[in-house]
Chain A
Amino acid sequence: LADVSHVMGAIKTQSPLPRTFSRGMVQDPSHFDVLVMPNLYGDILSDLCAGLIGGLGVTPSGNIGANGVAIFESVHGTAPDIAGKDLANPTALLLSAVMMLRHMGLHGHAKKIETACFDTIRDEKVLTKDLGGNAKCSEFTADICRRVQDMD
């Protein structure tokens, strides 16, 4: 990390201990910007941060390999109890798709969909059950689609 930051130059780097992260994260997460860490700490801290922003239902993720190979995924469970009932919250998978669009260089489309999604959630009118509403998955998605159309 120290070697790479020397090359990158302008970006500020710090290296506190994982326990300092976890505590600092809980007390004031705004201190942190980009975090890079080995596997186990990443596992723990990514779930911790997901808990801070509302849970796995709204957290996107991507796995990036060499030569641009990448898999984007939501990290919540398969939720067999609500599968096939039009009740699930699509936000995590949708935002993961937005990450994918950015990875592919389609920033315009990514921004549009992301903004529409955030606006729908902020508006609080059409929310799935896990976010405190009682809308269906399709209704939530339709609202996002409507906003995207209105943007054009």
Chain B
Amino acid sequence: MHTTVMMAALTKALKPILGRHLGNTAKGQIIPPPAKYGGRHTVALIPGDGIGPELLNHVRELFRFSCVPVDFEVVHVNSSSTSEDDINNAIMAIRRNGVALKGNIETNHTMPPNHKSRNNLLRTSLDLFANMMHCQSLPGVQTRHKNIDIIIIRENTEGEYSSLEHESVPGVVESLKIITRNNSLRIADYAFKLAREKGRRRVTAVHKANIMKLADGLFLQCCKEVASGYPDIEFDSMIVDNTTMQLVSKPQQFDVMLMPNLYGNVVSNVCAGLVGGPGLVPGANYGRDYAVFETATRNTGKSIANRNIANPTAMLLASCLMLDHLKLHDYANMIRGAILTTMNETRLHTADIGGQGTTSEVVQSIMRIIQSGGPLTTEI
């Protein structure tokens, strides 16, 4: 905590001197400058637990091989420690660099209730209000449903994840679900802007406002208000239970989906399952000033850790999303193309998608494809 206070004091002191260079907005808020020096970006890297460290090592290996101008500042977070120092260091590193790539930090359920989820702390401290997941059917992967192309926008900071629970009477727990007008308008606006940017035609709000009349009712109301400002985009809403039923029977009907935190968790996992599983889908968390990239379904994968069987696709695609965010589109497209080409090889599929390939075989194949594509690379 003291480092945060120090940084705030330092920034305040430097502001009159470097005010212009620190990029003041009209409201006098400071936009952090990009962590870029000599053409190279610095990105915070949080290995996390389970399969995170090995997958992120593969990302670094691939980036080194492809000469991507990104350096990583590695920050370890010990999930079994009760002290919040580790996670605060990680948050500070992300504030410094603006962008992070992370593995999931395990949330131990046996810890006392006041021990907050590290991942949640990270998201709320950095106000990463939008979780974006793009679920697309991959050509090389066999699934029951085909031609799925859904963007899921999930409110990332409030809702059922407010961690506000109390037990006033033994055996009776009350859990608070927080929905605010501010955050609902904000996430709805993000969804519609993204839909417009990507040329999508319809946004569907997912809710349970028939039961949670005030909470989800407010969310839905905010979505409708924002929708009226985007007449070019169709807006409809669907109750969450019907949504999951429709997703497993006719997922092609969905375009962009917008929802509060918990439904986002469930729906994004259903969609990940529909396109082939947690090993394939990348996710992104965006705030006003920061962006953190990870696998969409945020799995630790403890049981498959360090056995060279985890599917690296999700994490590698997440690193491509990160490269796009850093405007390194050429590198992003090159790596993404190599990943998709590798996906077409059934013998390279890892166990989670029905194959027997190893993680390193997949990564080697991607590197070979990149090398054959012609750009400057290091030796394999």
Contact = CB atoms under 8 A, between A and B. Distances in A.
* A-B interaction: yes
Contact of B248 (A18, A20, A43, A48): A48
* Majority SS at the chain A contact face: helix
Given A23-B297, A43-B241, A44-B241, A51 B247 contact: yes
A39 to B, nearest CB: 9
Interface string B170-202: 000000000000000000000000000000000
Contacts, number: 62
Contact of A44 (B240, B272, B273, B297): B240
* Majority SS at the chain B contact face: helix
A55 B277 contact: no
A26 interface: yes
Given A27-B277, A51-B247, A55-B249, A22 B241 contact: no
B274 interface: yes
A47 B270 contact: no
Nearest to A48: B244
Interface in B245-293: 245-249, 262-263, 265-266, 268-270, 272-274, 277-278
A26 B273 contact: yes
Contacts of A19: 265-266, 268-269, 297
Given A18-B266, A19-B265, A19-B266, A27 B245 contact: no
Contacts of B83: none
A27 B273 contact: yes
B274 A26 contact: yes
Interface centre among B242, B245, B247, B277 (most CB of A within 10 A): B245
Closest 8 CB pairs of A and B: A26-B273, A51-B245, A47-B241, A48-B244, A51-B248, A23-B269, A19-B269, A23-B273
Interface of A: 18-20, 22-27, 40, 43-48, 50-52, 55-56
